[in-house]
Amino acid sequence: MPTPTDELALGDDLRAFVDASPSPSHAVAELARRLGAAGFTELAEVDRWQLAPGAAHFVVRRGGSLIAFRVGSAPLASSGMRLVGAHTDSPTFKVRPHNDVRQAGYRLVGVEPYGGALLHTWLDRELTVAGRVALRGGRTALVRLPGAPLRLPSLAIHLDRSVREGLTLDPQRHLVPVWDRDLGTTPGLAEALATAAGVDADDVVGHDLVLADTQPAARAGADGTWIAAPRLDDLACCHSGLTALLAAPAGERTQVLVCNDHEEVGSGSMQGARGSFLADVITRLVAVTDPGDVQAVHRAVARSVLVSADLGHAVHPTRADRHEPAHTPELGGGPVLKLNANQAYATDALGSGWFAERCAEAGVPVQYFVSRADLPCGSTIGPLTATRLGIPTVDVGAPMLAMHSCRELASALDVPLMVGALGACLRD
Ligand SMILES: [Zn+2]
């Protein structure tokens, strides 16, 4: 049995975090549960905030985004902040408003792709529906349907031999998960949601629901140090950031964890990184610590560093040709500093040097990632937040394989290394 000091213990805790978080709303609920257990109390955006040095709080916007902070002993304008950012959403499918599809003697559930999923990885898996429903009267409820009620069955090769030249999936026609045979009398998704929420079907007046893989996250690999799981991008960094924040001692500087929704679809929402959530929270923090100083927000932001934490690409065992030959991060090799000449990542000389120094303090190795010159580069909340707030930002992340697959792969050995690195950044 692993002990708390076992180097796999944090990886096991990450697996539990992923299993508890089938949707962004569930991820926020799990973050809130862990923060509450550690003494952080929730603030509402509609209330007036009274903040004392050392106070630890969190605030949730629209169910899918969360910001947690521990107020430092020094005013923000003179000390700045240390922030870790990550995202709560992952590529999936979102349930449509009119979702009761009936064809070929089956009852299916209409869904719409969300983000850049590797579509074929969703075939032949045990799926469920999870997320948030709006109830009559303005209340909400988290729901996750029990069991594995949905499935996207492959077409048998005997019925389409052209699949040997490559599988083409039309999301509108081919990726409609099947619920049941259409017997006319059995309950559909609407009834199942109401039952799961403990209300009448008429009381469910809206929903933000996604498909989720039901197979629990697992130890994998020959020595059991790998983690095979859904949604590691970017729940792994939400988990590492939270773990680092909870372990960090209170200090002079205010420490912040921001977990945004909607990164996989461009971050353009009120709770996404292009929205005002982080700027609003910083403005309110500064209003308390530096009242009446109209320059305080700008001084605080200029003295701060945001570590944008999102998974990076480990070198692929059979497709190493898709990587820049001098930059091939390894699973278990520690945090990856991500750089891009075209600013798809926010990391610059000062930022990468600062992060590498923090890693050295923590005894954590650093790896570097850049894209090949003949391939486009992904992006993160880092450049968006840096552009919006003018906050110095560095893009980092644990290495992984199969990013955006329904079932991704990372190393449990990288979890304590990420937590150590992010902890050193928050303590700086
Ligand atoms: Zn990501």
User: For position 249, which CATH number holds?
Assistant: 3.40.630.10
Residues 79 and 108 in one domain: no
Evaluate whether residue 301 is within a structural domain: yes
Taking residues 123-152, report their average pLDDT: 97
Taking residues 246-263, report their average pLDDT: 97
SS (H, E, C) the chain: CCCCCCCCHHHHHHHHHHHCCCCHHHHHHHHHHHHHHCCCEEECCCCCCCCCCCCEEEEEECCCEEEEEECCCCCHHHHCEEEEEEECCCCEEEEEEEEEEEECCEEEEEEEEECCCCHHHHCCCCEEEEEEEEECCCEEEEEECCCCCEECCCCCHHHCHHHHHCCCCCHHHHCCCEEEECCCCCCCHHHHHHHHHCCCHHHEEEEEEEEEECCCCEEECCCCCEEEECCHHHHHHHHHHHHHHHHCCCCCCEEEEEEECCHHHCCCCCCCCCCCHHHHHHHHHHHHHCCCCCCHHHHHHHCCEEEEECCEECCCCCCHHHCCCCCCCCCCCCCEEECCCCCCCCCCHHHHHHHHHHHHHHCCCCEEECCCCCCCCCCCHHHHHHHHHCCCEEEEECEEECCCCCCEEEECCHHHHHHHHHHHHHHC
Ligand 1 midpoint to CA 310 (Å): 5
Ligand 1 midpoint to CA 342 (Å): 18
Ligand 1 midpoint to CA 89 (Å): 8
Taking residues 402-424, report their average pLDDT: 98
Ligand 1 midpoint to CA 102 (Å): 35
Q: What is the CATH number of the domain that holds 133?
A: 2.30.250.10
Residues 193 and 269 in one domain: no
Which of these, 26, 38, 56, lies nearest to 261 by C-alpha position? 26
Ligand 1 midpoint to CA 6 (Å): 27
Evaluate whether residue 1 is within a structural domain: no
Strands 367-369 and 393-397: unpaired
Ligand 1 midpoint to CA 403 (Å): 8
Ligand 1 midpoint to CA 214 (Å): 21
Residues 264 and 178 in one domain: no
Ligand 1 midpoint to CA 160 (Å): 34
Strands 81-87 and 305-309: parallel
Evaluate whether residue 235 is within a structural domain: yes
Burial class (CB in 10 A: 0-12, 13-18, 19+), 321: exposed
pLDDT at 2 over 80: no
Residue-wise pLDDT for 212-246, tens only, equals 999 999 999 999 999 999 999 999 999 999 999 99
Residue-wise pLDDT for 24-62, tens only, equals 999 999 999 999 999 999 999 999 999 999 999 999 999
Residues 156 and 22 in one domain: no
Q: Which one of 188, 213, 238 terminates a domain?
A: 213
Phi, psi of 175 (to 5 degrees): -110, 65
Give pTM, 2 decimals: 0.96
Ligand 1 midpoint to CA 275 (Å): 17
Residues 380 and 286 in one domain: yes
Which two structure tokens, joined as six digits, stand for 161? 């031999």
Question: How far apart, in whole angstroms, are the C-alpha atoms of residue 403 and residue 231?
Answer: 9
Residues 48 and 101 in one domain: no
Ligand 1 midpoint to CA 64 (Å): 15
Lowest mean pLDDT among 70-84, 264-278, 376-390: 376-390
Residue-wise pLDDT for 321-351, tens only, equals 999 999 999 999 999 999 999 989 999 999 9
Ligand 1 midpoint to CA 427 (Å): 24
Ligand 1 midpoint to CA 103 (Å): 36
Ligand 1 midpoint to CA 303 (Å): 26
pLDDT at 173 over 80: yes
Q: What is the span of the domain harbouring residue 141?
A: 92-213
Evaluate whether residue 225 is within a structural domain: no
Ligand 1 midpoint to CA 304 (Å): 23
Residue-wise pLDDT for 280-295, tens only, equals 999 999 999 899 999 9
Ligand 1 midpoint to CA 101 (Å): 32
Evaluate whether residue 224 is within a structural domain: no
pLDDT at 1 over 60: no
Evaluate whether residue 3 is within a structural domain: no
Write down the pLDDT at residue 72.
96
Write down the pLDDT at residue 4.
42
Ligand 1 midpoint to CA 234 (Å): 5
Residues 275 and 408 in one domain: yes
Q: Please check whether residue 191 is in contact with residue 133, taking contact to mean a CB–CB distance below 8 angstroms.
A: no
Residues 312 and 209 in one domain: no
Ligand 1 midpoint to CA 345 (Å): 12
Evaluate whether residue 222 is within a structural domain: no
Ligand 1 midpoint to CA 86 (Å): 8
Residues above pLDDT 70, as percent of the chain: 99
Ligand 1 midpoint to CA 39 (Å): 28
Write down the pLDDT at residue 357.
97
Q: Please check whether residue 346 is in contact with residue 395, taking contact to mean a CB–CB distance below 8 angstroms.
A: yes
Q: Which one of 186, 213, 240 terminates a domain?
A: 213
Question: How far apart, in whole angstroms, are the C-alpha atoms of residue 355 and residue 345?
Answer: 14
Cα 380 off chain centre by = 11
Ligand 1 midpoint to CA 349 (Å): 23
Residues 174 and 50 in one domain: no
